[in-house]
Structure 1
Amino acid sequence: MRDVEHVREIERVLQGRPTTRDSVVLASWRRCVERHGLDPARSSPAHIVPEAQLRAHREQAERLIAIARSGLESLFRQVAGQNYVLLLADAKSVTVDFFGDPRFEAELQAAGLYLGSDWSEHLAGTCGVGACIATGEAVTIHQSDHFDLHHTPLSCTAAPIFDTSGQLAAVLDLSLLRSPQPKASQNLAMTLVRTAARRVEMANLMAMARREWVLRLSSSPEFLEVDPEAAVALDGAGTIIGMTHAARTALGPQLLGRRLDEVTTLTVDDLPDLMRGRPAEDRVIRLPDGRALFGHAIAPQTVRLPRQGTQLPGGLSSLAGPDPHMQALLERAARLAGSRLALLIRGATGTGKERLARAIHMCRRDGGCFRLLDCAALEAGALDLPPGPGTLVLKGVEDLDHAAQALLLRRLADCPLRIIATTRCDLAQMVRDGRFRPDLFFRIAGAALDLPPLHLRQDMDWLIERMLRGLSPDALRLSAGARAELKSRLWPGNLRELAATLEAAALISGGEVIDSPDLPPPLLAPAPEAEVEDLPAILDACGWNMALAARRLGVNRSTVLRRVRAAGLVPAA
């Protein structure tokens, strides 16, 4: 009698008469009759594909099965004892992985809740897997929601799994042979399959993007690192090359191929600031529509540099462009990063010492916390080091007076922290002059890294382009004259001065092109013939362009030529 009533209800739906069924079920019933030609009065057994066909489906889905396996095992343990069956079907509706109670194996096979069952809507009628594939949404098809009479005892809750390009890759289905009558009894099953599908997508993205940046997103800081809601993968230029399905809800529907600064206020250069080392609640990402999310950036495991065969871990890869000196420096930093050796980073104001320290810290997956101690702001006796392992950066260590130096040395005696000190001075000369304790110097200077000033760097064009992308998501660019003007300056303020100059010029120009008149004048003009002792390095930085080197030095081109000849300088091979 129930079967007859079920058939009559389907007929009433086809006639357009009212019913209490979900819209997903109603649309599927219509497709079953009008598109697939199925008969609601006929009871069809489960469709099981031949062994060879199943093997082919499993081989095609082998990678996804391997990635999903751990998460599915965990989900099945959660529902153990409640008679649930867990199915993983591929995008063609064939079950390629299965978790169920072996005591009910025969009954499960007969119901189609087993390996090799084909849950395509045109074969099985309205069902969890078929409706999920048809709609791309998570669904519950409960008992008489099923079209085919053979399946009406079942309750099936299914969620889609999308690949990193946004295409449907699989369906995760949690089913019962028999269940309580109310459809609402499967609300928990819906939550479980949605969560599991999201985690499988996350695991798939992480596996795909081992050599790329990954930005994971959450609406709350509490779950940011342990169970984020969405993620995108980015190449070195900040272009989105992969995503989880939830990222479209978080950042917008069209993501692939767009730059990060088009969908957020971030650029790829900001990603190191969103890594572990800052409290989760401080890692806020602003969106163009005013919303805020929390972000956790994961650096590439290894990134190829322009020089063949060289690799850098994590955030180190984003600190320089095609500059041989900087690449050699970063390679050295990478070799030192895995140890606990104390490091001294030397460089003028604005050369990026703190950023290099953070990138070194992030090279260790077990690096612990990242703490910055501004030595210039310390008061007498106020030197409390953070507990636990991690990295402590002593910013401007030359600013410590003798009393603070002695106190720091005592504090470091039993400190588990990795020490990275930064200085803008010649600390060794301060030791020789008696202004800095030699025992503290050797405690914090296990190895030294020297950052060059901006006017000696050969990747100026690369730096300018990265900073321009950070200023505007639009096509902000420099005229040839403005670029030549910037490259001719001596930059005593280094990267910080360049960034401020570009920001001011962008505001003054008010358009897409920054021209020479838009550039503010140097705030600290160099004296003529400055940095003469760096003539070979300046020539290298200028590509041996004598006119450019002369402008940077504040002298005539003939003066540069005379000094080059007198010193017998020639370009490197």
Structure 2
Amino acid sequence: MVERHHVDEIAQVLDGHATGRDSYVDASWRRCVEIYGMDPTRRDPAHIVTDAEFRTHREQADWMIGAARSCLQNLFRQVAGQNYVLLLTDAKGVCVDFFGDDLFLDDLRGAGLYLGSNWSEDLAGTCGVGACIVTGEPVTVHQDDHFGNAHTDLSCTSAPIYDSLGQLAAVLDISLLRSPSPKSSQNLAMSLVMAAARRVEMANLMAASRGEWVLRFSSSPEFLDVDPEAAVALDGSGKVIGATRAATRMLSGGRNLIGAPIDSLLGLSVDDLPDLMRDRPTEERVVALDDGGAVFGHAIAPQAPRRMQKVNHALQKRAQGWFGGALAGSDPTMSRVLSQAERLASTSVPLVICGESGSGKTKLARAIHMASRRRGFAVLDCAGAGPEDMREALSAQSGPTTLLLLRIENLSSETAQLLPGLLDAHPDLRPVATSGQSLTPGASREALPSELLFRLSGSVLELPPLRERQDLGWLIDRLLSRRSGGEMRLTPSARAELMARDWPGNLRELGNVLDVACALAESSVIDLPDLPAASQARKQEQDLEAVLDACNWNMARAARRLGVNRSTVLRRIRKERLRAPD
């Protein structure tokens, strides 16, 4: 009778009638029938991944498990004796960590409240974890809120955990095999799981940002130093390179903060951060918000670099993705390219990344792979690669795989003929190619057969050369800080020289120049004599307007970058009828 009533209620929702349930439950029921083709009368058991699949999910989520473990232990102690079980799932809904009472392990396994269970909505139907992944918000799916009859005894309250770049990374779920009937009985569980998720995000941000400034916030001075509500990580120039979800909502209404200067969000600059450290009383550390309000702030200075901290930081960045503050500052062209790459990363669209040598094509390709959450990764350098090299690169790959094709313009005709067949034979393969040749409209495309080119270039991402980027100063500061641990700085004349160079070798050349300068400098200050000579290689044809934009239409600086006189720049401006933006 209860099952019949449940099925009838789902039918009402499909007919467009209101049930009085939360809107996310009604929406999930519709998806279960209309998209996933599920039958509410069936009692399907929990879906458990294979041991091999579980190991893969666990390894990929290892960084999040480490950040969450202490918070989960504390939460489990808070609910001890109340028969709750805690699940930490990855962003795909697979349980990778678990806390529960040993007395009920058999019942928990039977209900799928255990390691390896997959609670994604398309497999489990309406459930706490699945609805949380779809909505990105905390939810409670209580008893017959669940779609499948097998789960209508459960009560599941879930909260999302976002990484420091704003991507959904995990879900924290607190569940009961049986609970009191009113859904309001889980209000305390909701408060607890949301607070725990917030603390996990905070722990992850702190672990990933030991070498950066971190600014933490609280609406109350009493909890500022011990349990802050939100936090952002900042690079040396004051741009946001990481944020907790609460900080994103507090400072920008939910819009991504990555790359934003802190002084555009708060009434302070990076130079004001030392005034917010612990040597001042908490009630005096007031930070003005953009909307006229105020919070209390706690600034934590970058820690001295240690080898293990660098390793952990690299692992965190690789797991979370590299978009935003890791690859670019406030350059509009790079921001547009990275925004496109971030949206395309989780799709199966084949990509070609174009740009001059050293402009960051391979780094962006690896960032796309990490953000795609694909398990396999194969690399083939097309320069001199034959058919056997192609087959060997794919021989050990299974499941969703990224195939990185370096320098695709150098692919031999024989291998180019083989590639379409290999792509057909591996439907889970997603090709991401790099090219030193432009594939924008009007560019030469004679290097590859047009059929293969169209097959590979579902979308083309064009990286600008360094001389056209408006964030050159930011890149110099970031690369120098990485190489010196924040201990080296440039004199104004050395900085002006670096800003004026043409950089035909792009990021690779800039990194090499800074390495030499750090080695030659006799103190922590890098001056003109410490800089190696500029490369003589120079482009004959350059986009004058792009160079002028990168130099904010400073004629003298543009002339130095182009290696010509200021009068030559003025003549070209008149000839090309260019006008400075308002």
Aligned to 1:288: 290
Which deviations, in whole Å up to 9, do the C-alpha atoms of 1:220-247 show, x marking residues without a partner? 1111111111110000000100010111
Cα distance, 1:18 vs structure 2: 2.4
CA contact (8 A) 1:233 1:240 kept: yes
SS at match of 1:174: strand
* Structure 1 residues 278 and 111, CA gap change in structure 2 (3 angstroms): same
AA aligned opposite 1:230: A
AA aligned opposite 2:129: V
Cα distance, 1:322 vs structure 2: 2.9
Higher radius of gyration, 1 or 2 = 1
CA contact (8 A) 2:211 2:302 kept: yes
Whole-angstrom CA distance in 2 between matches of 1:231 and 1:478? 36
Aligned to 2:261: 259
Aligned to 1:27: 27
- Could you tell me the percent identity over the aligned residues? 64
Whole-angstrom CA distance in 2 between matches of 1:229 and 1:480? 47
SS at match of 1:58: helix
* Structure 1 residues 458 and 49, CA gap change in structure 2 (3 angstroms): closer
CA contact (8 A) 2:489 2:526 kept: no
SS at match of 1:265: coil
Cα distance, 1:478 vs structure 2: 13
Whole-angstrom CA distance in 1 between matches of 2:212 and 2:67? 18
Which deviations, in whole Å up to 9, do the C-alpha atoms of 1:385-422 show, x marking residues without a partner? xxxxxxxxxxxxxxxxxxxxxxxxxxxxxxxxxxxxxx
* Structure 1 residues 180 and 309, CA gap change in structure 2 (3 angstroms): closer
* 1:270 pairs with 2:438: no
Whole-angstrom CA distance in 1 between matches of 2:153 and 2:112? 12
* 1:322 pairs with 2:324: no
Whole-angstrom CA distance in 1 between matches of 2:23 and 2:114? 28
Aligned to 2:74: 74
Which deviations, in whole Å up to 9, do the C-alpha atoms of 1:179-208 show, x marking residues without a partner? 000100000100110000000000000010
* Structure 1 residues 164 and 305, CA gap change in structure 2 (3 angstroms): closer
* 1:130 pairs with 2:298: no
CA contact (8 A) 1:218 1:228 kept: yes
SS at match of 1:89: strand
Which deviations, in whole Å up to 9, do the C-alpha atoms of 1:229-278 show, x marking residues without a partner? 11100000001000101111111023101110111121100000000011
SS at match of 2:172: strand
Q: How does 1:151-166 map to 2 (within 5 A)?
A: 151-166=151-166
Whole-angstrom CA distance in 1 between matches of 2:283 and 2:96? 41
Aligned to 1:372: none
* 1:99 pairs with 2:99: yes
CA contact (8 A) 1:161 1:168 kept: yes
Whole-angstrom CA distance in 2 between matches of 1:166 and 1:310? 28
Which deviations, in whole Å up to 9, do the C-alpha atoms of 1:42-61 show, x marking residues without a partner? 11111111111111110111
Aligned to 1:297: 299
Cα distance, 1:305 vs structure 2: 9.9
SS at match of 1:161: strand
Q: How does 1:378-393 map to 2 (within 5 A)?
A: none
* Structure 1 residues 34 and 305, CA gap change in structure 2 (3 angstroms): closer
Aligned to 1:546: none
Cα distance, 1:164 vs structure 2: 0.7
CA contact (8 A) 2:490 2:526 kept: no
Q: How does 1:144-543 map to 2 (within 5 A)?
A: 144-252=144-252, 253-302=255-304, 311=485, 321-322=489-490
AA aligned opposite 1:226: V
* Structure 1 residues 237 and 107, CA gap change in structure 2 (3 angstroms): same
Whole-angstrom CA distance in 2 between matches of 1:87 and 1:245? 20
* Structure 1 residues 284 and 458, CA gap change in structure 2 (3 angstroms): farther
Whole-angstrom CA distance in 1 between matches of 2:180 and 2:236? 52
Cα distance, 1:212 vs structure 2: 0.3
SS at match of 1:297: strand
Whole-angstrom CA distance in 1 between matches of 2:220 and 2:24? 31
Cα distance, 1:479 vs structure 2: 9.1
Aligned to 2:42: 42
SS at match of 1:141: strand
CA contact (8 A) 1:68 1:200 kept: yes
SS at match of 2:490: coil
Whole-angstrom CA distance in 2 between matches of 1:137 and 1:223? 25
SS at match of 1:225: coil
Whole-angstrom CA distance in 1 between matches of 2:58 and 2:35? 29
Cα distance, 1:288 vs structure 2: 2.3
Whole-angstrom CA distance in 1 between matches of 2:84 and 2:251? 35
Whole-angstrom CA distance in 2 between matches of 1:309 and 1:159? 38
SS at match of 1:250: helix
* Structure 1 residues 307 and 112, CA gap change in structure 2 (3 angstroms): closer
CA contact (8 A) 1:274 1:295 kept: yes
Whole-angstrom CA distance in 2 between matches of 1:94 and 1:244? 23
Q: TM (normalized to structure 2)? A: 0.54
* Structure 1 residues 296 and 11, CA gap change in structure 2 (3 angstroms): same
* Structure 1 residues 323 and 85, CA gap change in structure 2 (3 angstroms): same
AA aligned opposite 1:194: M
AA aligned opposite 1:116: G
Aligned to 2:567: none
AA aligned opposite 1:80: A
AA aligned opposite 2:150: H
Whole-angstrom CA distance in 1 between matches of 2:482 and 2:149? 64
CA contact (8 A) 2:85 2:176 kept: yes
Which deviations, in whole Å up to 9, do the C-alpha atoms of 1:326-346 show, x marking residues without a partner? xxxxxxxxxxxxxxxxxxxxx
AA aligned opposite 1:238: G
Which deviations, in whole Å up to 9, do the C-alpha atoms of 1:419-442 show, x marking residues without a partner? xxxxxxxxxxxxxxxxxxxxxxxx
Aligned to 2:516: none
Which deviations, in whole Å up to 9, do the C-alpha atoms of 1:143-171 show, x marking residues without a partner? 00000000000000000000111000000
CA contact (8 A) 1:88 1:171 kept: yes
Aligned to 1:5: 5
* Structure 1 residues 274 and 96, CA gap change in structure 2 (3 angstroms): same
The runs of 5 or more residues in structure 2 that have no matched partner are 306-477, 493-524, 529-549, 557-582
AA aligned opposite 1:38: M
SS at match of 1:300: coil
* Structure 1 residues 71 and 308, CA gap change in structure 2 (3 angstroms): closer
SS at match of 2:194: helix
CA contact (8 A) 1:305 1:311 kept: no
Aligned residues: 331
SS at match of 1:203: helix
Cα distance, 1:306 vs structure 2: 5.0
Q: TM (normalized to structure 1)? A: 0.55
The runs of 5 or more residues in structure 1 that have no matched partner are 325-455, 460-474, 482-573
* Structure 1 residues 6 and 236, CA gap change in structure 2 (3 angstroms): same
Whole-angstrom CA distance in 2 between matches of 1:254 and 1:88? 25
Which deviations, in whole Å up to 9, do the C-alpha atoms of 1:354-410 show, x marking residues without a partner? xxxxxxxxxxxxxxxxxxxxxxxxxxxxxxxxxxxxxxxxxxxxxxxxxxxxxxxxx
Aligned to 2:498: none
Aligned to 1:86: 86
Aligned to 2:341: none
